Each structure stands twice: as C-alpha cells, then as structure tokens.
Amino acid sequence: MRATVLHGRGDVRIENVPDARLIEPSDALVAVTRACICGSDLWPYQLMEPVETARRMGHEAIGVVEALGADVRTLKVGDVVVMPFAYSDGTCVFCQEGLHTSCVRGGFFGTVEVAGAQAEAVRVPQADGTLVALPVGADDALMPSLLTLSDVMGTGHHAARAAKVGRGKTVAVIGDGAVGLCGVVAARRLGAEQIIILGRHPDRLALAKAFGATDVVSERGEEAVARVRALTGGFGVHSVLECVGTDQAMRTAIGVVRPGGAVGRVGVPHYEAIPASEPAFYNNVTVGGGPAPVRAYIQELLPDVLEGRIEPGRVFDRVISLDQVPDGYRAMNERQAIKVMVKTSSR
C-alpha cells in the first residue's frame, strides 16, 4: 500500500510499504478515506535530522473498517469510523476519568510503534476504545467537519476547557492555525462573550471572525499584550487558548490573562520551562492543558457537527490526493493553506 514517510527535514515522500494488517486481537484494520496534515506534523518536517529513523506520518483519519481482531466487540466490518490521534482502551483508570491520552494501554499514531494514517490503510490498536462509528456514509457532505473531531476541533475544545471558558467570559486565542480557529469555535460554543484572536494571516482572521471572533489583534509581543488589555478595560481576559507552543506565545498568554484567569495550552511546547512564571504566580494564573483527550470529546461535539451547529471543517482550504501529500506539506509549511485534507482512493 502507499503511505507517507518522512525521511528528514523537508523530505516527505509517498512510498510503497507493507500493507497494514491486524496484529493484536484488539486491533481494527481501517481503509482510510480521509486524512489530513496537522500543524504538529510541520515540527518534524522542519526539524527532523536525516539520520533519524524514517517516520510514517499522520494521526487524523476517517475510514471504513476492513477487518477486525477476534476481541473487538463494538464495531463491524463496513463501519465508517473516526480515529482520534491517540488510541486508548476506554476502560483504564485514566480513560474513565476522561483523560484518554494518558491511557495505560494507549499511545499515538504516526510513531515508531504504530504507523501513521496518511496512508491507504491504518492499523488501529484498542479498536473498541479508540474508534467511534459515525452514522453517515463515507462520502457524506459533513466529512470535513467530522474529520476535525480526530484532532483539531477536540484540541481547540480542550484548550477552551483548560482555560475555563464559560458563559459571558472574555477569551483570547493565540494562534490562527486550524487549532486556534477551532478554539474560536469552541469558545463561542461554550458561551464566551468576547473572543479576541491573535494572528497575522488575513484569510485565517476572516475565518476566525466567521467562527465568532469579536476582535482581531495582529501585533506581537508587548504590543499585542497592550492591545488585548486595551480591549478588555485594562484587565486582560479570563481565558487564554495558547495554540502555538512557542516561548513567545506563552509569554503573550500570561501577559494578556487577567488575575485569577487561566491559560489552556495545546500547542506542543518548544520551550524548556514555562516562561513568565513570576507574573503568573502573582496574578494567580492557572496554566493547564496538554494533548487533548479528543476521544472523550467526540461524543460531546458530534451532535453539534451532525446538526450543523458548528462547522469546524471550514478550516480545510485545500483537498489533495495521497500522491500530492508532499505538496500539501509544502503548502502548509509556507502558510499557503490553513489545513490540507487528503482524500485517499479506497482500495
């Protein structure tokens, strides 16, 4: 089968690899119909040393169940399923607490252990706990929004939860990538009154406004902090969704949050220590977040997608075939596309 393999910085290829197959009795084999390229895929795309082992990329997918291990109980061949970016058993102590990304039998797709989903097919461990069957056909018009439930919409929602967004709250969203834009959707959905998006790309900011952002701040650093404070009576916002992961983004987050407020961080951190710990301490700021347990959120968000109350699938502004994946990485890396959907031809 064909799959996406990252060999080093800027060197992503579509290659023929051994077919995905069942290994454990709890596995499902899923023929991928839709996958996508994630902002977090761009970190290894930009940084990976060529000496490292080649990586099979992709952690977001919708597909059709092709085969099931003997222990799988809740799925059947032919089910259309959405795959969260982490697999989980759904039964361990952390899954029961809704923190599926810490599952004791869990892990992540696109790693050395489990191959990625930017491929014709993917092996899904812990299929009963991981996959969610969708009540739609494989070519349903809602596919883009349903696909965001495998990562970016759940991640934006997690940022909003960690930042304690609620009715009437003021919110800042740092980052205008797909996760930040979904963070706007999530904040609006949870009843935020004012949503300030911090970003610099006109097309993305226009979409943020369509999703419910009330204000746009395109400055950076201290100027951005001053602008957000000016927009909030000098106090700052209750909730900050930090959707970037850099030292500067976290500094800005702590700079714009009001005393007693919360920062939800979902950008993979590319800093050693959380910066600005002194103002965070003196202002009683909560800093939370991490990899989103998107599996826990699918049940909550799915009805809103199916009934059209939210349309996070609008973050996809380019659709490509599997063979075009290297171009897709380039387009996202050069900020020519917000988020790229990969439509695979099923086998």
Residues that bind Zn ion (CB under 5 A): 88-89, 92, 95, 103
The least distance separating Zn ion from the CB of residue 99, rounded to whole angstroms, comes to: 9
The least distance separating Zn ion from the CB of residue 117, rounded to whole angstroms, comes to: 20
Q: Between residues 106 and 261, which has the closer beta carbon with respect to Zn ion?
A: 106
The least distance separating Zn ion from the CB of residue 74, rounded to whole angstroms, comes to: 15
Q: Between residues 98 and 303, which has the closer beta carbon with respect to Zn ion?
A: 98
Q: Between residues 154 and 180, which has the closer beta carbon with respect to Zn ion?
A: 154
Q: Between residues 125 and 261, which has the closer beta carbon with respect to Zn ion?
A: 125
DSSP H helical ranges for the chain: 42-47, 93-96, 127-130, 143-147, 152-162, 178-189, 202-211, 221-231, 247-256, 277-282, 294-306, 325-333
Q: How many whole angstroms from its chain centre is CA 84?
A: 9
Q: Between residues 131 and 240, which has the closer beta carbon with respect to Zn ion?
A: 131
The least distance separating Zn ion from the CB of residue 103, rounded to whole angstroms, comes to: 3
| Helices and strands (H and E) in the chain: how many | 12, 18
Q: Between residues 72 and 250, which has the closer beta carbon with respect to Zn ion?
A: 72
The least distance separating Zn ion from the CB of residue 106, rounded to whole angstroms, comes to: 6
Q: How far apart are CA 74 and CA 26, in angstroms?
A: 11
The least distance separating Zn ion from the CB of residue 105, rounded to whole angstroms, comes to: 6
Q: How far is CA 312 from CA 143, 148, 153, 168, 316, in A?
A: 11, 7, 7, 22, 9
- 155-190 b/e (C-beta count within 10 Å ≥ 16 → b): bbbbbbbbbbbbeebbbbbbbbbbbbbbbbbbbbbb
Please give the biggest Cα pair distance in the chain: 61
Q: Between residues 88 and 145, which has the closer beta carbon with respect to Zn ion?
A: 88
What is the CB neighbour count within 10 angstroms for residue 72?
A: 21
Q: Counting beta carbons within 10 angstroms of the beta carbon of residue 30, is it exposed (0 to 12), middle (13 to 18) or buried (19 or more)?
A: buried
Q: Of 152, 153, 192, 199, whose CA–CA distance to 171 is shortest?
A: 192
Q: How far apart are CA 229 and CA 235, in angstroms?
A: 6
Q: Between residues 4 and 126, which has the closer beta carbon with respect to Zn ion?
A: 126
The least distance separating Zn ion from the CB of residue 158, rounded to whole angstroms, comes to: 17
Q: How far apart are CA 132 and CA 143, in angstroms?
A: 14
The least distance separating Zn ion from the CB of residue 88, rounded to whole angstroms, comes to: 5
Q: Is 276 left (phi over 0), alpha (psi -120 to 50) or beta?
A: left
